[in-house]
Structure 1
Amino acid sequence: MRILGKTSHILAVAVLTGLGSTPTHGGENWPQFRGPGARGVSEETDLPTLWSATENVAWKQELAGRGWSSPIIWGDRVFLTTVVNEGETEKPKKGLYFGGNRPTVPTTVHSWKVICLNLNTGKPMWESVAYQGLPKGPLHLKNSYASETPVTDGQRVYAYFGNLGIFCYDMQGNEVWSQPLPVTKTRYDWGSAASPVLHGDRLYFVNDNEEDSRLVALDKRTGDEIWNIKRDEKSNWATPYIWENELRTEIITPGTGKVRAYDLDGKPLYEFGGMSSITIATPYADSGLLYVSSGYVLDKKKPLFAIRPGATGDISLGKEETSNDYIAWCQKQAGPYNPSTIVYGDLLYVLLDRGFLACYDAKTGKQVYGKQRIPNGKNFTASPWAYEGKIFCLNEDGVTFVFRAGREYELLRTNSLTDDTMCMATPAMAQGKLLIRTDSGIYCIERAAKK
């Protein structure tokens, strides 16, 4: 273990006194990418459904630098990551396109930061510089050096920066430990994005790249490596998922070559193929089934799988099969590219990057309604979320499309932020507040009646 960066605080110690207490009710927090269970669903009943750049905005906080990591929430704190370039950062173009590769590593100094904001006011509580120096590798125009979402257990917050390291802080912003990571090449020099996950006393992360792909378990208290296994994979960007099912606990790791499940000691349990050539979406479970998808837009294979617990060995489908003993169902042309899917109630919704919404029965995989064009939807990268009987889909222009959850396609309304914004981070929600990160800051949306 090696300390890579020096911590700096922007507020006096006295201001931070008393911030160590943490709530115990899980519904009050949003501790990781897509929240509890990585499902993107909240059971709260007082979250906002109507907003604009000014309406129902409790606060807005500008953020320096660039970061596509999602905000996370614990108690009265919001955690984010960003990387500030002392030089000029090229502005990304929206949408799906070729030509975004940038193989030259920037030669200007960058600062990798972990930021804590007050959930109720948006005011900064603390800011820590994890590392300052030159980037270790190149990056796609639309990616950022802070695309991995941090994770917290309410005692510490863990920030993972690909090609740099993992940094652990206490809730007051003091660096507890850091663990450097090797520099590896990613496909087309696109950079990294898969977020870390916590389970028990361990922190797990996947680093799938072109040179030496790994799944690693660290002791969350010390940063010491518990195990480190090599993966027969190339670059992927999917966050792993810890599946606690009725039979056992599994680490699910989607990949281009195979989806693989491991036990908590890194021993392979089962695997299956059939994914598209680029894998980004995060797996999750609901009502006893595991959902995995992969849908690179130029591939013929865009599968969406539902998996039963208890599998062993290779459970791949045959060419004409859509189910077997452990694959409950598969829709071979349903998977989205960037967004993850979402199960809400007994239905599974698929948001496609180019502006379509589709719906399937979550138990059987049968189509409820096919691809419906979202009016003026354009480009979607963030994953959808759900609450209060509605499905929310945020596009890169900062427009959220609100759909009624159910067996009929019904667009209820659109909520727009400013015209010049860009949104790629998946929002977070807790305690009646919805947090939407843009390319320049973060909005806290809240029902006016609570203000």
Structure 2
Amino acid sequence: MKTILPTLLTLLALLTSPALADNWPSWRGPSNQGISNEINLPVEWSKDKNVAWRLAMPGAAGATPIVWEDHIFVTSVDGDDLVLLCIGTDGEEKWRRKLSSGNREVRGDEGNSAAPSPSTDGKYVWAFFTNGSLGCFDFDGKEIWQFDVEERYGDFDIAFGMTSTPVLHGDKLYLQLIHSGGAKVVALDKATGKEAWAVARKSDARQECEHSYASPIVYDGPEAKFLLTHGADYSIAYDLETGEEIWRVGGLHPPGRYDVTLRFVSSPVAKDGMVIVPSAKRGITAAVKTTGKGDITDKKEDYFWTFEVTPDVPSPLIVGDYVYLCRENGNLIALEKESGKQIYEERTNRIRHRASPVYADGKIYLTGRDGIVTVVQAGPEFKIISQNEIGEAIAASPVLSNGRIYLRTFDALWAIGE
């Protein structure tokens, strides 16, 4: 008994250890897919029910937080300053660092300069703002490096600021700078901020279509590896080490006409050899293979399917045998992954949806701008499990980590759960 009991206690401790919980190190989670392996997450809450804590933020922002073990990082405005905050999972602020000043409000309540999300590798954290301020800090808040991206790569000519979140992979930090002033794709050494490579991003897009508010992703599968950038009428894949273009797909406008205001906001998602490529407004959604070469726009053999509706702002989600598109109006569309056949389109919360859907433990979380989070059962049958309201506006996507759901509203950071 003396030997069995410690063994059982050790096993129980391991099974319940926070170290086994998923970190959420980037905007779309552990694999840039909006998916967490967490189980037993909250499905019901309100402003005074199932809330571990609420911490007021220094200003409004749409940036999604990130989590690594007991550290939460989030960018925000603080008056006119642009800041990175480190918050403990106990709800206490550890530190904040100013990267620059000059906040810019855009389109009324649509956003400001704290739109991109941070990224972390568990040792350092990188923060970017729409005015080009980019910096790297350690977990104690010590600055490792910092520079102005506009000074190095040219002024941004884009209507609502460079909202793209840089993506971290291996020893590099990747940026897509897609705008009218000379679009570029850049890889930086994450430890020093020095340029690893930079290439011009060629496109025949014109007018506002030259602007992109989407973010790049990295796909690292057994059959293909690439950086995927999204905007200016194309999704374009680049070699991670050299910046050489591998493939591109266009044709994302509505058939028969060119919309000069069709600027991408929704970002692609890639999983299991498939890339779901959204567009905007009345454009299409395309499912293409990860193994293409060259311009695959008119190569039918490189497509799985196309669908006549796109989510516009929220990014797509691939879960099991289904692809989910959350439309701006809150309608949820489920498609068969292999065929693109529509299973359903159902109403959730009829309000603007800016946040991207996330998935864990058989459930999809959809977040409206009014702060209502609708929890939907994943699978071919549409079912609303719950709708949860905290009474504060949200543009950031939910974060699933450490057995909790973290919601960054315009007013505060909320920890939902025990």
Match in the other structure for 2:122:
154
Cα distance in 2, alignment partners of residues 428 and 293 from structure 1: 22
Q: 2:98 is matched with which residue: 103, 106, 129? A: 129
Cα distance in 1, alignment partners of residues 271 and 156 from structure 2: 35
Deviates more, 1:209-218 or 1:284-293: 284-293
Match in the other structure for 2:112:
144
Q: 1:235 is matched with which residue: 207, 211, 220? A: 211
Q: 2:319 is matched with which residue: 326, 339, 344? A: 344
Cα distance in 2, alignment partners of residues 161 and 427 from structure 1: 20
Cα distance in 2, alignment partners of residues 213 and 140 from structure 1: 23
Cα distance in 1, alignment partners of residues 410 and 148 from structure 2: 27
Cα distance in 2, alignment partners of residues 278 and 118 from structure 1: 37
Deviates more, 1:281-290 or 1:261-270: 281-290
Residue 144 of structure 1: SS of its match in structure 2?
coil
Cα distance in 2, alignment partners of residues 257 and 348 from structure 1: 22
- Number of aligned residue pairs: 383
Contact 1:79 1:117 in 2 (8 A): yes
Q: Is 2:142 the partner of 1:169?
A: no
Alignment of 1:40-439 (within 5 A): 40-85=34-79, 110-119=80-89, 121-132=90-101, 134-135=102-103, 139-141=106-108, 142-182=110-150, 184-187=155-158, 189-233=159-203, 234-264=210-240, 265-276=242-253, 277-296=262-281, 299=282, 301=283, 303-317=284-298, 324-331=300-307, 333-369=308-344, 371-374=345-348, 376-418=349-391, 421-439=392-410
Cα distance in 1, alignment partners of residues 378 and 399 from structure 2: 19
Residue 31 of structure 2: SS of its match in structure 1?
helix
Q: CA deviation at 1:26?
A: 8.0
Q: CA deviation at 1:289?
A: 1.3
Cα distance in 2, alignment partners of residues 353 and 153 from structure 1: 32
Q: CA deviation at 1:27?
A: 4.9
Runs of 4+ in 1 over 3 A off after TM superposition: 23-27, 137-140, 183-187
Cα distance in 2, alignment partners of residues 27 and 305 from structure 1: 33
Deviates more, 1:379-388 or 1:303-312: 303-312
Cα distance in 2, alignment partners of residues 245 and 386 from structure 1: 20
Contact 1:184 1:210 in 2 (8 A): no
Contact 1:138 1:191 in 2 (8 A): no
Residue 173 of structure 2: SS of its match in structure 1?
strand
One-letter code aligned to 1:266: G
Residue 214 of structure 2: SS of its match in structure 1?
coil
Contact 2:22 2:36 in 1 (8 A): no
Contact 2:19 2:69 in 1 (8 A): no
Q: CA deviation at 1:247?
A: 2.7
In structure 1, stretches of 5+ residues that fail to align are 1-22, 86-109, 319-323
Cα distance in 1, alignment partners of residues 365 and 289 from structure 2: 28
One-letter code aligned to 1:225: E
Q: CA deviation at 1:25?
A: 6.3
Cα distance in 2, alignment partners of residues 226 and 210 from structure 1: 23
Contact 1:40 1:385 in 2 (8 A): yes
Cα distance in 1, alignment partners of residues 321 and 19 from structure 2: 25
User: Residues 433, 24 of structure 1: CA spacing in aligned structure 2 closer, same or farther, 3 A cutoff?
Assistant: closer
TM-score, normalization by structure 1: 0.81
TM-score, normalization by structure 2: 0.87
Match in the other structure for 2:31:
37
Residue 165 of structure 2: SS of its match in structure 1?
coil
Match in the other structure for 1:98:
none
Cα distance in 2, alignment partners of residues 310 and 346 from structure 1: 20
Contact 1:400 1:416 in 2 (8 A): yes
User: Residues 408, 149 of structure 1: CA spacing in aligned structure 2 closer, same or farther, 3 A cutoff?
Assistant: same
One-letter code aligned to 1:328: F
Give the RMSD, CA atoms, in angstroms.
1.9
Q: CA deviation at 1:184?
A: 3.2
User: Residues 138, 125 of structure 1: CA spacing in aligned structure 2 closer, same or farther, 3 A cutoff?
Assistant: closer
Identity of aligned residues (%): 30
Contact 1:379 1:396 in 2 (8 A): yes
Cα distance in 2, alignment partners of residues 140 and 230 from structure 1: 29
Residue 28 of structure 1: SS of its match in structure 2?
coil
